[in-house]
Amino acid sequence: MGVIKKNIMAIKKYIGPEVLLAAVIKSNAYGHGIIEVVRAVSQVGVEFLCVDNVAEATAISKQFPASSKILILGGVESEDLDWVIKNNVRLALFNSSHPRTFERSSQRCGRRAKVHIKIDTGMHRLGIDANEAVEVITKINNNYKNIEIEGIWSHFADSGSRENKKYTQEQIKKFSNIVDQIEKDGIQIKYKHLCNSAGAINYPEARFNLVRTGIIIYGIFPSEYIKKKYQKKINVKPALSFKTKIVSLRDLPKGERIGYGLAYRLKKNSKIAVLPVGYKDGYGRSLSNIGEVIVRGRRCPIVGRICMRMMMVDVSSVSRVKLNDEVILLGGDGRVRIEADEVAEKMDTIPYEILARIAESVPRIYKK
C-alpha cells in the first residue's frame, strides 16, 4: 500500500496543487482490493473515491463511515436511490429520466441529492448529449430544488494515443464551451472533471479543477505511448505482485505430451512444475504455451493448456528447484520482471484487464 501512496504523491506533484485528485477504485480497485486501497489513498488526501456501483459504495461506507466523498460513476437502481442520498453518496446523472427520479427520492429522504452531470463529448457510452447539456443543466438548476449539481464531467475516448489527438482536443473544446456557457449564465458548479489517467498526464489544459486517476495510481501507465513519453517524468511503480508456489514436481522424458488436449509435446527431457493457479483465478487461458513465470530469478515457460485451477511450467533451467518454491506470475525477482503490460500484449488486451480480472477469491497480502 505504501507504493500506491507514493504513486499518488508523484501524480499530485506532476499535476500541481491547483488540481484535485479523485482515486478511481472501481472493480475491486483494479484487482488490488478495494478496502485496503481506500485505507491507503485516504491517508494521502484524495477528493473523491470513484466506484462502479452501489455495492462498492456500501462496502466502503461500512468500513469507513467518515471516508472521503464517494462518487458512483455508473447507474443506480431505483430501489437503491434512497440509501445513496441518505448517505451523501454522489450520483452520476447521465440521462433525461434521472432528474425526476432523483428529485422524488430526495423528497422522501429529506436530503438533497448531490449529482455530477455526465456529458457525452464523444465517448458515446453514457452522458447527456453535448448539444443539449447547457439546456439540461439550466433546467435542473432552476426547477429541481432537491438536486444539487456538485459537478459536471465527461470521459475521453482515447487520450492515451498520438493518433487520436485531434479527436481528444475536440472533446476538450466541447466540454470547455459548456463550462464557459453555464458560468456565463450564472450557474456555479464546484467540480469540473474530464481527465482520466492518460488525460491528466497528457493534456494539462483539460485538467480543470479535478482529475480522475485510475490505472496510474496502481503504477501502470495507461498506454505504451504514455509510458514512453512520461515514465521518466512521473515516478510511479507497480503496486501489485501475483505469486504462488510449486505444488508438484516431476521429471518427464522427451516426447511426452502435457495437459488437456495434449497441447504441448516436450522437446527434451524436462522437469515440470504444477502451480495451483488457473483461469478461475483470473490468469488467462490464452497464455497457454506462450506465457512465462519467474522461478528463482529465471523465466520459465508455461507448457500445455492452463486449467481452471492449475497450470504446468517447465522449470528445467532452474537449479535446485524444489516444492513450495515461490513463483511470480506478475512482478519481479531482482532485475527479472513480468509486468501487466507484457502479459496484456501476449493476450492481445490491455493492462487494465490483466489486473481487474484477478479473482477476489485470490488471497491478498498487504504491505505498508
Q: What is the mean pLDDT of residues 259-273?
A: 97
Q: Which domains does the chain have, with CATH numbers?
A: 2-230 (3.20.20.10), 242-356 (2.40.37.10)
Q: How far is CA 234 from CA 185, 187, 344, in A?
A: 39, 36, 22
* Average pLDDT value over all residues in the chain: 96
CA atoms of 189 and 254, how far apart (whole Å)? 70
75-113 confidence digits (pLDDT tens):
999 999 999 999 999 999 999 899 999 999 999 999 999
Question: What is the per-residue pLDDT for 66?
Answer: 66
> 274: Cβ–Cβ under 8 A, 6 or more apart, which residues?
246, 247, 248, 249, 310, 311, 312, 313
**How confident is the model at residue 64, as a pLDDT?**
85
The x, y and z cell numbers of residue 85, run together, are 442520498
Does the annotation list 125 as a binding residue?
Answer: yes
Identity at 87, one-letter amino acid code: N
Band of residue 189 on the pLDDT scale cut at 50, 70, 90: very high
- What's residue 48's pLDDT? 96
| Residue 275 bridge partners (DSSP) | 311
pLDDT digits (tens, 9 = 90+) for 27-69: 999 999 999 999 999 999 999 999 999 999 999 998 887 666 9
Query: Residue 1: what pLDDT?
Result: 86
- 308 annotated to bind ligand: yes
pTM (predicted TM-score)? 0.94
What percent helix, strand, coil does the chain show, rounded to 5? 35, 25, 40
The residues assigned a catalytic role are: 26, 260
Judge contact between 238 and 220, C-beta under 8 A. yes
Among left, alpha and beta (phi > 0; psi -120 to 50; other), residue 170 is alpha
Q: Are 3 and 237 in contact (CB under 8 A)?
A: yes
pLDDT for position 82: 96
